[in-house]
């Protein structure tokens, strides 16, 4: 079944971005300077990948994987770990949703993986789970109910 294969694409993209250390990885300065100019730099980088609404953001014009999944995963992870404010992560995700029709599905796929990871935590990492749940709750406000139920 082809749908099973396509359901695995976001996870595969994250894995391949890490393994291949693709060009264009985000600088750690983005996270360190998030409030000052990091958020703008992050969104600007994502816009470059998402600028063609008619094509999937998972692949570039040459058919190579982009790192949009990794970037969004990193953003959510920084919020879960408390490196970035949850509110800032959610507002950035909300901004990305407006840039491309495929972004809500990508976000939900990443949240699904993060849910599986954060549900396996011990008591020391309980704050991470709380942060994750807060991010999901806020994302429910701008992600469609239909898509939430589907994913």
- pTM value? 0.80
pLDDT tens across 127-138, in order? 899 999 999 999
pLDDT tens across 84-107, in order? 999 999 999 999 999 999 999 999
Angstrom distance (rounded) from CA 72 to CA 102:
13
Share of the chain above pLDDT 90, in %: 52
pLDDT at 4: 45
Question: Of 24, 20, 25, 13, whose CA–CA distance to 106 is shortest?
Answer: 13
């Amino acid at each position: 079944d082809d749908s099973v294969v396509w359901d695995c694409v976001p996870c595969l993209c994250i894995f391949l971005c890490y393994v291949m250390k693709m060009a264009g990885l985000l600088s750690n300065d983005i996270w360190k300077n998030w409030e000052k100019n990091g958020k703008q730099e992050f969104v600007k980088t994502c816009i470059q990948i998402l600028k063609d609404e008619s094509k999937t953001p998972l692949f570039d014009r040459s058919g190579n994987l982009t790192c949009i999944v990794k970037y969004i995963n990193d953003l959510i992870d920084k919020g879960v770990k408390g490196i970035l404010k949850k509110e800032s992560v959610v507002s950035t995700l909300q901004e990305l949703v407006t840039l491309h029709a495929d972004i809500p599905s990508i976000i939900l796929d990443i949240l699904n993986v993060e849910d599986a990871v954060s549900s396996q935590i011990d008591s020391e990492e309980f704050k991470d789970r709380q942060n994750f749940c807060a991010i999901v709750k806020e994302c429910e406000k701008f992600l469609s109910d239909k898509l939430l139920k589907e994913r």
